Chains A and B, each alone.
Chain A
Amino acid sequence: MKAKQLSEVRDIVNSAKFRSWFDTLVKARLAAREAQLRHEELLTQIHLMEFRAELAQRNATDTLYRAAGHEDAAAAIQAESSDLENKSLNLVGEYERQRALCTELWGAMGAAETPDRAPDARARKLREEYERETAKKNRMWEEVENLWAMSLEKNLAVVENKAKGKRVRRESETLFANAEKANASAQALKSDGERSAREREKADEAVLALMSGAAAEFDAIVHEDFLYWSQRENNKAVYVSPLFNDSSNYNLELNACRIYQCSSERGVDFLEPIVETAVRGSRVDTRLDDFFVKGRAQAGTSSQNG
């Protein structure tokens, strides 16, 4: 790169070619920024969808285990209920035998006890035996009824657990379907993400191509935010042109494509506006002479108490 005079730099920056390049750069940077934002948004959505799919899968598995738990409980209670049922059937058989014994004793007791004479020892013994066996028969019946009640309770629990198992299994199926849907969405988003990554890369490449082309096109040192030209007038200074507007982060309010100058040592850390030497040197400045040499009336404008 050759050192340049201000007029040369001015010609470059004011040229139609530079303006057109800058406009294209602004558009390319905007496109790159938008592509970056789109890509970042898609990555966020992908992560979110993957997380949702994972969560739904875990939830579905847990629910399936819960359904199996209810079904196992139903089977266990069903076994208990069958056991009770068998016991009650056996007991009913025993009860029938006991009832026959009691009927038999009742008959014998009727024959031994006559109204015309007091009961003898045999008749008393038969009555005692009858009463004892009748009490046993009644206890057996109570037990049968208890077994039936317990069996009923178990049967109801079996049905309830089976119904619950079915419901929870259906829930888990819905959750598995949701997980699958979320997975499919994540996969679709991933392919969108890959496409957007390619678009982003392309947009970044377009910006890079414009920047690297500018170095040769405008014979300048090109950095991301500024273009620089060595000054022919002063080899320790450079002309600088920002590629953006900034009103608060530099020592001056920067305007894009305007020409500033800085020392090669401090760079953009301290920028100075360009001063027109032609304007500066074109007139004789008599202000200080007027102020110090001439009378007070001509001096300055607003001194009130001087």
Chain B
Amino acid sequence: MDKVEVLQKSRLFDNLLPEELEMVGELTILRRYKAEDVVFNEGDVGDAVYIIVDGEVDVLTRKDGADKVLATLAAGAFFGEMSLIDKEYRAATVRARTECAILQLSNENLHSFSKAYREGFTWLVVNIARVLSQRLRDMNRKLADRL
């Protein structure tokens, strides 16, 4: 598996230069999960962002004693980025829906990247902000529809 090729397909790494992608690739660890394996639990300390290489995961939250699927993510998608920005505990549980290969990029390794490539890191944060901004706009739209 070519990590750089995988990273290039993810919105998280839009506009990163080849050498920046190369370093991010070196800073990631490939984790493999079986269906039903939990990647992290709601309430865990968030210390990494994840990029799906292969397979699907469910993003779940616990409501009235039952798991509710908030979203299903597939190859190219990333998750866990919120804790990177707000340093809060995980807001949801992520569980493998199928057998999965996922790249894990720890906060600490990301810090290494920020020291080596300031602009690249800024782009990465801009990309996260773009995704969060898009989610916010979607929610605003939904809210407006309900009012």
Interface of A is mostly: loop
- B108–chain A nearest beta-carbon distance, Å: 6
Other-chain residue from B23, B106, B133 in contact with A275 (beta carbon distance below 8 A): B23
B126 sits at the interface (CB 8 A): yes
Write the chain A residue with the least CB distance to B23.
A273
**Is the beta-carbon distance between B26 and A252 smaller than 8 angstroms?**
yes
Q: Mark A235-279, 1 if CB is under 8 A from B, else 0.
A: 000000000000110011100000000000000001011011001
With A247-B29, A248-B29, A301-B15: A306-B133 Cβ-Cβ less than 8 Å: yes
Q: How far is the CA of A273 from the CA of B115 in the complex (A)?
A: 12
Contact of B108 among A251, A273, A276 (CB under 8 A): A251
- Whether B109 pairs with A252 at a CB distance below 8 angstroms is yes
Interface 9-mer from A40-48, A105-113, A283-291: A283-291
Q: Is the CB of B134 within 8 A of A253?
A: no
Contacts known (A251-B108, A280-B19, A302-B14); A291 close to B126, Cβ less than 8 A: yes
Interface size on B, residues (CB 8 A): 27
Instruction: Check A288/B29 contact, CB under 8 A, given A270-B108, A304-B134.
Output: no
Point out the residues of chain A lying under 8 angstroms from B27, CB to CB: 252, 273
Residue A303 at the chain B interface, CB threshold 8 Å: yes
Considering the complex, give the chain B residue whose CB is closest to the CB of A283: B17
Residue from B17, B23, B30, B106 in contact with A247 in the complex, judged by beta carbons closer than 8 Å: B30
A306 vs chain B, min Cβ distance (A) = 6
Residue B72 is within 8 A (CB to CB) of chain A in the complex: no
**Chain B residues within 8 Å of A7, by CB:** none
Which of A251, A275, A301 is packed against the most chain B CB atoms within 10 Å? A275
Task: Decide: A285 near B119, CB < 8 A? Known: A252-B29, A273-B27.
Answer: yes
Q: Are B19 and A287 closer than 8 Å at their CB atoms?
A: no
Inter-chain CA distance A53–B114, complex, in Å, is 68
Residues of B within 8 A of A306 (CB): 130, 133
Please count how many residues in chain A sit with their CB below 8 Å of the partner chain's CB atoms: 23
Interface pair B106/A253, CB less than 8 Å apart: no
Give the complex CA separation of A280 and B115 in angstroms. 12
Whether B26 and A305, one on each chain, are in contact in the complex, defined by CB atoms closer than 8 angstroms, is no
With the chains together, A86 CA to B50 CA distance in Å? 103
The yes or no answer to A300 lying at the interface (CB within 8 A) is yes
Contact with A along B122-136 (1 / 0, CB 8 A): 110010001001100
Structural contact, B112 and A272, CB atoms closer than 8 A: yes
Mark out the residues of chain B between 95 and 133 whose CB falls within 8 Å of any chain A CB in the assembled complex.
Answer: 106, 108-109, 112, 116-117, 119, 122-123, 126, 130, 133
Please, could you name 15 A-B residue pairs with CB atoms under 8 Å apart, sorted by A?
A248-B29, A252-B26, A272-B112, A273-B23, A273-B26, A275-B117, A280-B19, A280-B117, A287-B15, A288-B119, A300-B126, A301-B14, A305-B134, A305-B137, A305-B138
Chain B residues near A (Cβ < 8 Å) = 11, 14-15, 17, 19, 23, 26-31, 106, 108-109, 112, 116-117, 119, 122-123, 126, 130, 133-134, 137-138
A: residues with CB less than 8 A from B are 247-248, 251-253, 270, 272-273, 275-276, 279-280, 285, 287-288, 291, 300-306
**9 more CB-based (< 8 A) A-B contacts, given A253-B29, A279-B19, A303-B134:** A251-B106, A251-B108, A270-B108, A272-B112, A275-B117, A300-B15, A300-B130, A302-B14, A306-B133
Closest 6 CB pairs of A and B: A273-B26, A275-B116, A272-B112, A305-B134, A285-B119, A305-B137
